[in-house]
Structure 1
Amino acid sequence: MPALTKAQQKQVQAAEDSFNRTYAVQYGDERWENSLRPALVTPTRYGVLINCYRSNSLPSSFTENDVTDLQLITFPSSTGASNGEVAEETRLLSYQRITTSETSQSPTAEAPFPAPQAVSNKDASNSLMTHWNLDAASLLAVSILRPKPGDKVLDLCAAPGGKSLSLAQLLRPQTYDDAAPSLMGGCLHSNEVDAARNRRLSSNLQSYLPAPLFKNGEIKVVKVDGTEQHAAQMLPLGIGGYDKVLLDAPCSSERHVIHAHSKARQGGRVADEMASWRSGQSKKMAKTQAAILMTALKAVKVGGRVLYATCSLSNEENDGVIEKGKELVAKEKKKFGTRWDMAVRSGDFAGTGLEQWAESTKHGWIVLPDHPSGGRWGPLFFAVLEKVSA
């Protein structure tokens, strides 16, 4: 590949400088340069979620060394259950590699988990994939939303499917019958508007979840544009049809930009992600996110909860979208006389152990890889919202 011209080098350097200035202002110069940015440059850390629709034990592909190196991931307590209910213990069977204070301070790339496998035999459940590797912050978000057996759940921006699989694990009743699988009144609708990503989502979920759940309609993959004003009406259960909605919104994904830029520089190239980055793009992205948030709020029932999440570092795409959501709800009430409102419930989770994962923000929480706990998860921002009577 030809070397960059001086003009191109200048353009890339200007974009990188602007990127660093933007987040140094938000997080402080010292933290950004000495802690947060170095943590974001390191490889993303993964946990492993066991597919309990197949087995409740580690797959045979995990070696003895793998097993001795693993630690069960525990999530915050159930104090933040909605409507005063006492939530079940979170039944997400997931593991992380054991870290020490030394590895937390000087993180290195961890050995990858074995790839998911499916072993075909007469037992249909054993033809399902064994596990899913993902950032444990995603599992934290699902555990905070706390879907329970019998809930009707919507995953509004679901591809590639890791969070949908996690949601499906919690919808599985304790009395679940592998021979005649059923969610016993509950359902999971996983939505993705992009055609290619929708196909991938469908393929992934069918590889992990029992076929009868699709045949009886308890699990569906749907294709609705969440930014459309009447999107909620096009969902299978329509307006107010869902108990819980997970919205992991499309975002600027700055850690991906940092990784792409770092990799390109090592090869003497420039990453398009950094070259095209502009400080104003979060403002544009936030408009899209707020529109999808309104769809989520319309889709959930009064008394139900929405968990809004992004993997963005930007306040504009995080707390800022919650502010925009409040404004849009107010406009909706004034224009159409709607009889519901949005309440922020993120504070319900203070003192539950969530502080070991995340730091609080104005309206939510954010998991960052330089958190003092040494977990090295994230970034992931989330806010817990409840649809209440106006």
Structure 2
Amino acid sequence: MSNHMFSVQQFYVTWRRICCKSKKLTPVALNWLWSSNCHAGSRVVSLQSNQKGTSNKQVTKRPKKESSSCQAVLNHFDQQYSEELGDLWPSARHVLLDPPSWQYGVMLNRFSTVTDITQILQSQGFSTLLPQTNISVLLCNDPSMVSHSKYHEGKDTLLSSDYINKRPPDNSLPQPGQDPQSEPSLSLPRPSLQCYIHPSPLRFPSQAHRPGQLKQYYLLNAASLLPVLALQVRDGEKVLDLCSAPGGKALAIMQSATPVLLCCNEPDPHRRDWLAKTLESFLPHSLNSRVIVSSQDGRSFGQSEAGVYDKVLVDAPCSNDRSWLYSCSNQQGEQRLKERARLPVLQAQLLRSALSAVRPGGIVVYSTCTLSSFENCAVIETALSDFPEAEPEDLWEEIAVPLSKYFAFSSHPGHGQTPHKPSLKPQNGTVSSYQHRLGILVVPQPGKTWGPMFLSRIRRRK
């Protein structure tokens, strides 16, 4: 086994050292061991328990099917991305074709006990991507962003129907600006978005879904947290996650703030069930009246809920570069490439809907997990042409510069130096000043394998 990978014995020994002074593991540690599968590169091992309830050193290895890339998709990527990314594409291509090199992030759940998890992560060389403080310290302190939202006191259940259209009259709601933390029935931990990452391609064990028990952490591509940072959610706001499944970004929103309402929308029934299960696994019942699941067509929110939300996230359906490269045959790949040409139309419709659903002064963040400029900057330009009151905001100094230690952005190959803001003249592997205002792009690179991830922030002027 590679030095970069965990062994079951390493986990077991470390947990014993951290969790107990006697010969017995703590209930937290035992529960974690029993509910986890240890992933080590292409090898997957799981701990078993014997009849006496003690851990068994014997492991069961579950072989992972080797996957090969789709040549039709790869050829298309080579043609498009070599032109769009220039010198960045060969190294990005190398990373995309080498799944064992991919890094993983561990986002902690503030609604669960994570002290033991934090210790085990630190002992194995994981470090924090973000400060363990209120996420608002990373955001600009703009008084105009303080929400005047009202909220609905609903039943203590996670709704699967459209909640917004069923909310009660305004006169039945509390006064605007009420601090959600002041509710006597709601006592929540301080918002703190904590994500641990490792410099090596090491995957922390996943936790199985256990009804009635909150998971302690969520595994993700750390670049997927950047759209949430850009969204700048604050306590008491109304937030719409327009394309929410499988739910990772919704969870990140709830780690970073306590919105008065988070509407997680997903029209596809199977993905919606996946989303609901994710929320159930991480969020306490006390939040059920605030975090709801909607089944609308995302393109309809602009009409049905015009100006309702303070913040809207559009994590748009896209030609997911990592997924598409491995999840289809050549024949299926050819069909997907035809579908890819139609995606920008849908993406622009969703973005227009979001811009209509956000209130004047509110923020929309658009994101994808593809390198394609047709699904990124081109979509932003198309949608903005219909919204003269909407203005893209520069994310370079706010996100790209401070996080360049961990992520490689399109105007910076990622060799450990502080990136320079692009000039007006486009160059290979860079973006022009105009494109730069439209968004920033995380490009997978050796040692910084996060991404692809494009994000753009648009503010609707008052």
> Residue type of the partner of 1:221?
V
Alpha-carbon distance between aligned partners in 2 of 1:14 and 1:310, rounded to the nearest angstrom: 21
Matching residue of 1:267: none
Q: Percent identity?
A: 31
Q: Summarize the alignment of residues 96-135 of structure 1 with structure 2, pairs less than 5 Å apart.
A: 96-99=197-200, 110-116=201-207, 127-135=213-221
Question: CA shift at 1:16, angstroms?
Answer: 4.3
Question: CA shift at 1:272, angstroms?
Answer: 4.9
Residue 91 in structure 1 maps to residue 192 in structure 2: yes
Matching residue of 2:453: 380
Alpha-carbon distance between aligned partners in 1 of 2:89 and 2:199, rounded to the nearest angstrom: 26
> Residue type of the partner of 2:441?
I
3-state SS of 1:239 partner: coil
> Residue type of the partner of 2:290?
E
Q: Summarize the alignment of residues 305-324 of structure 1 with structure 2, pairs less than 5 Å apart.
A: 305-324=363-382
In proportion to residue count, which structure has more helix?
A: 1
Matching residue of 1:274: 333
Residue 244 of structure 1, aligned match among 305, 308, 311: 311
Alpha-carbon distance between aligned partners in 1 of 2:145 and 2:308, rounded to the nearest angstrom: 23
3-state SS of 1:294 partner: helix
Residue 342 of structure 1, aligned match among 386, 390, 394: 390
Equivalent residues of 1:71, 1:96 under 8 A apart: yes
Question: CA shift at 1:275, angstroms?
Answer: 3.8
Residue 45 of structure 1, aligned match among 90, 100, 103: 103
Question: CA shift at 1:151, angstroms?
Answer: 1.5
Alpha-carbon distance between aligned partners in 2 of 1:314 and 1:227, rounded to the nearest angstrom: 22
Matching residue of 1:256: 323
Alpha-carbon distance between aligned partners in 2 of 1:240 and 1:86, rounded to the nearest angstrom: 15
Residue 284 of structure 1, aligned match among 335, 342, 349: 342
For structure 2, list consecutive stretches of 5 or more residues without a partner in the other structure: 1-69, 147-189, 412-430
Matching residue of 2:445: 370
Residue 353 of structure 1, aligned match among 402, 412, 419: 402
Tell me the matched-pair count.
318
For structure 1, list consecutive stretches of 5 or more residues without a partner in the other structure: 1-11, 100-109, 173-182, 262-269, 331-340
Equivalent residues of 1:303, 1:386 under 8 A apart: yes
Residue 275 of structure 2, aligned match among 201, 225, 234: 201
**Larger Rg belongs to:** 2
Matching residue of 2:353: 295
Alpha-carbon distance between aligned partners in 2 of 1:328 and 1:366, rounded to the nearest angstrom: 24
Question: CA shift at 1:45, angstroms?
Answer: 2.1
Alpha-carbon distance between aligned partners in 1 of 2:367 and 2:332, rounded to the nearest angstrom: 22
3-state SS of 1:159 partner: coil
Alpha-carbon distance between aligned partners in 2 of 1:23 and 1:92, rounded to the nearest angstrom: 33
Change beyond 3 A, Cα 1:90–1:307: farther
Matching residue of 1:218: 290
Question: CA shift at 1:370, angstroms?
Answer: 1.4
3-state SS of 1:24 partner: helix
Equivalent residues of 2:302, 2:354 under 8 A apart: yes
TM-score relative to the length of structure 1:
0.73
Change beyond 3 A, Cα 1:15–1:306: closer
TM-score relative to the length of structure 2:
0.62
Q: Deviations over 1:179-220 (max 9, x none)?
A: xxxx6xx22111101011111111110121011211xx2111
Equivalent residues of 1:245, 1:300 under 8 A apart: yes
Residue 151 in structure 1 maps to residue 237 in structure 2: yes
Alpha-carbon distance between aligned partners in 2 of 1:130 and 1:118, rounded to the nearest angstrom: 11
